[in-house]
Amino acid sequence: MRRGLLILIVFATLISTFLVAEQVELKFLHRWPDPINQPFLENVVKDFEALNPDIKVNIQAISNDPFKEKIKIVLGTSEAPDVFFTWPGEFTNRFIRAGRIMDITDALVETGWIDDFVYSQLEPFMYEGRFYGTPYRIDAKVFMYNRLLFEKAGVDFVPETWEEFLVACEKLKKAGITPIAFGNEQPWAISHYIGTLNQKSVPEDVWLKDLDPAKGTWDHPGYVEALKMFTQLIPYFSQFPNAIKHAEARANFFAGGSAMMYVEIVEIPYVYRDAPVEFQENWGMFVFPNTGGPGNQNYLTGYPEGFVISADTKYPEQSLRFLKYLTGREVGRREYAEVGYLNGIKNLFDEDEVDPGTWDAVQLVMKAEAMANWLDSSLHARIWDVYSVQLQMLVDGVTTPEKVMQEVRKAADRVRAEF
């Protein structure tokens, strides 16, 4: 009997060591194959592997624009990654509907993991009451401006309302300064303007309903109003917006070629990395001016980006461990130090630990009542296809706001019919 027990124990130990020794491989897909983020994430993975010897993480990366196409392809293959990057909102929701993303609600709630996050940054990852991912990088859209050029043109105020904003633009233009840098070769750039204007010009409940592809009708007059307001800005933009990349326009803005630019707060690190010292010492930020429209004016446009786990993963427990590490506090602090991004963890830093630009930006985000998702990733792919084409035409002045919305409504009707 005792002998039998002994054998059993030895056997069990053998099995368990065998199990522990067996390494599982996770496939991890992100969207930053650039010389700053890539090495950072490689190091994060290395440290994670050192802490978790039973897991090996294979990193793959696809850059931003191709990512939007590739992720759909990749999720359709048998090679789907275990942990991968995504933009919350409709971009992710369609994958959730197709059953490709793992529900992590229980893991979040049961262990109290949920309390680590700033809730407003976690909420975007919720779909029909369940959580599917965690934020890796928080973001919001603000106007950056060049104080020197404002002074030169005699603009002695920071615009808070739409009227003030237009006055500032006019003054700058009169002084021979290009008021707004705008690069729209990839039309996500205009989507950020229109997303903000839509949200501010349409009552909140109508706007939220329209973002749902199963219900959206897009027939509220506020959408046309939003486009009309946008056309007021066209004379103030830099030349050839549709032929210039956003990053190119930004380089020009940093160099003093224009006075303002609508940018994401994740672009702040570029100020310290790329801009001339003169700009670094004389820039400021303000939120999109109050338009007086019927939408909630205390929203901020901008949505976190994060990571989710594939529903097909063979290693849900290991994937969760990696996700928790990747979007956790320790990585978050290093992330800021090494690549300049902030993740969604509560009280990550004290004021004296970060640069003033980032600190101000974070305060803006915390002050906002809620976040409005990016227009492009909040729309159904086929509606966005039509919308983006129409918006580029609007920039060139070859269509009218009414016609744009007519086309969008047609596309929305077709999509709605499929649900």
Partner 1 sequence: MKSYRRRPGRLLGVTLTNAFMWLLVIIVVYPIIWIFINSLKSNSELFLNSFGLPSKAMFSNYIDAWNQGLSSYFMNSIIVGAVSIFFTIALGSLCAYGIARFEFKGKNFIFYLILGGLLLSPQASLVPLFRMLDFLKLYNTYWALILTYIAYRLPFAVFLMHSYFLSFPKELEDSARIDGCGTFTTFTRIVLPISRPIVASVAIMTAIFVWNEFIFALVFVEDAKMYTIPVGLANFKDALNTNWTAILAGIIIASIPIIVLYMLLSKSFISGLTEGSVKG
Partner 2 sequence: MILVFVYLPIVQNFYFSLFKMSSYSPTKQFVGLANYRMIFEDDVFYISLKNNTLYAVISVICQVGFGMLLAIILEGSFIGRKLKVFFRNVYFMPSLLSVTAVGLMFYFIYNPNIGLLNGILELIGLGDLKTAWLGNPKTAIYAVIAMSQWQYTGYIMVLLLVAIQKIPHEQYEAAEIDGASSFNKAIHITIPGIRDMIVVCTVITVIGAFKLFTEIYVMTQGGPYNSTQVLGTFMYRAAFAYDEMGYGSAIAVIIFAITFLASLVQIRFAYKGNN
Of partner 1, partner 2, none, which one sits near residue 234, judging by CB under 5 to 8 A according to partner kind? Answer: none
C-alpha 86: how far from chain center = 9
Of partner 1, partner 2, none, which one sits near residue 242, judging by CB under 5 to 8 A according to partner kind? Answer: partner 2
Of partner 1, partner 2, none, which one sits near residue 52, judging by CB under 5 to 8 A according to partner kind? Answer: none
Looking at beta carbons only, is 62 or 194 nearer to partner 1? Answer: 62
Q: Does 169 bind partner 1 (CB under 8 A)?
A: no
Q: Does 280 bind partner 1 (CB under 8 A)?
A: no
Q: Of the candidates 52, 252, 282, 296, which one interacts with partner 1 according to CB under 8 A? A: 252
Interface with partner 1 by CB under 8 A: which range of 13-21, 112-120, 245-253, 360-368?
A: 245-253
Looking at beta carbons only, is 248 or 355 nearer to partner 2? Answer: 248
Q: Does 393 bind partner 1 (CB under 8 A)?
A: no
Looking at beta carbons only, is 79 or 385 nearer to partner 1? Answer: 79
Looking at beta carbons only, is 186 or 296 nearer to partner 1? Answer: 186
Q: Of the candidates 49, 52, 54, 61, which one interacts with partner 1 according to CB under 8 A? A: 61
Binding site for partner 2 (CB under 8 A): 68-69, 72-73, 75-76, 95, 98-100, 185, 187, 239-244, 248, 252, 381-382, 385, 389-390, 392-393, 396, 398
Q: Does 247 bind partner 1 (CB under 8 A)?
A: yes
Looking at beta carbons only, is 76 or 235 nearer to partner 1? Answer: 76
Strands 24-30 and 55-61: parallel
Contacting partner 1 within 76-105 (CB under 8 A): 76-79
Looking at beta carbons only, is 147 or 382 nearer to partner 2? Answer: 382
Looking at beta carbons only, is 250 or 380 nearer to partner 1? Answer: 250
Of partner 2, partner 1, none, which one sits near residue 243, judging by CB under 5 to 8 A according to partner kind? Answer: partner 2
Q: Does 57 bind partner 1 (CB under 8 A)?
A: no
Residues forming contacts to partner 1 in the complex (CB under 8 A) are 33-35, 60-66, 70, 73-74, 76-79, 245, 247-248, 250-252, 255, 274
